[in-house]
Amino acid sequence: MITNKEKNFISVVIYVRNLEGEIYSILSLIHTTLEKHFDKFEIICVNDASEDNSRKEIEKFSQEVIFSILSVVNMSSFQGKELSMNAGTDLAIGDFIYEFDSMIFDYDEALIMNAYYKFLEGYDIVSVVPENTSGFTSKLFYKIFNRYSFAGNTIQQESFRILSRRAFNRAKSLNRALAYRKAVYASCGLSAAVIPYNNTGKGKKIEKEERTNRTETAMDSLILFTNVVQKFSLYISLLFLGITVTIGLYTWGVYFSDRKPVEGWTPLMLFLSLGFFGIFLILTVTLQYLSVVLRLIFKKRQYLIESIEKMTNN
């Protein structure tokens, strides 16, 4: 038994969405590890409008185990992982915050403390990542994101992370509502480390609702945190500029050639060429403007909470 426990107060935020069959064992694993190594800690479960008995399983666990604080944040409706985790981390009061936002627990519990000890080496963010990532679309997303990202650090699929209060406050100062926390953490300018592990490859089937939410988050993130849209619009504008120049040269060639086009054809084609170029140029500028507007709007996005329950059993 460990007698000299860590004195830092730890907050653990867990995303819960239809985890009836697993949440009890997940809480047991995390609680056992924390109780063994820390004097004080809290666990915050964010119930994202689960349609099963996840909340009852959390309540059952709270009645059987004695510990400091267990809170349940009940979202008013399904709001997705990012907004739900924002609600949980905003409630956290610990010096350091664990974020368990993945519903796949395919790692050894020792990694929870390994991340903490790595954190004490001087890092503000430590992420535990699986070596074998699944899904072609996920790999493609991370590749594109890291290629065109504004962030100083790269991002990848993560199982959980621990961050300092300073990192959390820095991220919140950058964005009121963290639309994509991994990207904001990577952009906050603080030191980060990664701990890889050999995962079993077993995963929880992603619900259709969550898959749709992930797709929306991915698209929003590419717009907000990368210059993919700007690059794409620029390339499209250059493509049509090339087409416009080609048509213009062809029009002038026909005008000065021996062939006599229909009267008015040459100025009409020149007008259409310049007109289309102007349209695509305006669209490019508009996309840039909309990108800025979106950045300002998403900072104001807030979550909706139905209730907060304290399930402490002392």
pLDDT digits (tens, 9 = 90+) for 245-260: 777 777 777 667 766 6
**226-237: average pLDDT:** 74
CATH number of the structural domain spanning residue 35: 3.90.550.10
Pair 255, 219 in one domain: no
Among the listed ranges 198-207, 232-241, 299-308, which one has the minimum average pLDDT value? 198-207
Number of domains present in the structure of the chain: 2
CB 239 within 8 A of CB 147: no
Confidence of residue 212 (pLDDT cuts 50, 70, 90): low
Total-model pTM:
0.75
Is position 312 within any domain? Answer: no
Mean pLDDT of the chain: 81
In a domain, 213, yes or no: yes
> Contact, 275 vs 58, CB < 8 A?
no
Asked whether the beta carbons of 158 and 196 are under 8 A apart, the reply is no
Q: Determine contact, residues 217/179, Cβ cutoff 8 Å.
A: yes
Q: Of 226, 256, 285, which residue sits at a domain end?
A: 226
Residue 81 lies in a domain: yes
Spacing of C-alpha 69 from chain mean position: 27
CA angle 189, 173, 30 (to 5 degrees): 75
Domain with 269 in it: 228-298
- Residue 152 is encoded by which pair of tokens? 């100083």
Identify whether 5 is part of a domain: no
Q: What is the helix (H) or strand (E) element at residue 41, kind and residue range?
A: strand 41-47
Give pLDDT, residue 145.
Answer: 83
Strand partners, 44: 13, 71
pLDDT in tens, 12-69: 999 999 999 899 999 999 999 999 999 889 999 999 999 999 999 999 998 888 666 8
> 210 with 256, same domain?
no
Please report which confidence band the pLDDT of residue 216 belongs to, taking 50, 70 and 90 as the band edges: low
Residue pLDDT, tens place only, 111-129: 999 999 999 999 999 999 9
What are the pLDDT digits (tens) for 149-174?
776 678 888 899 999 999 998 888 87
* CA pair distance 131, 113, nearest whole angstrom: 19
CB 145 within 8 A of CB 221: yes
Residue 303 lies in a domain: no
Please indicate, yes or no, whether residues 260 and 283 belong to a single structural domain of this protein.
Answer: yes
d(Cα 45, Cα 212) in Å, to the nearest integer? 23
CA-closest candidate to residue 2, choices 34, 30, 28:
34
Q: Are residues 268 and 222 in the same domain?
A: no
CB-side exposure of 75: number of CA atoms within 13 Å? 25
Q: Which residues pair with 69 in a beta bridge?
A: 42
Residue with structure tokens 């059993």? 313
Dihedral of alpha carbons 125, 155, 99, 37, sign = negative
DSSP codes of every residue in 98-142:
EEE--S---S-THHHHHHHHHHTTT-SEEEEEESS---HHHHHHH
Among positive and negative, which fits the CA dihedral 85, 86, 87, 92? positive
Domain edge (last residue) among 198, 226, 254: 226
Assess if residue 36 is contained within a domain. yes
CB atoms within 10 A of CB 167: 23
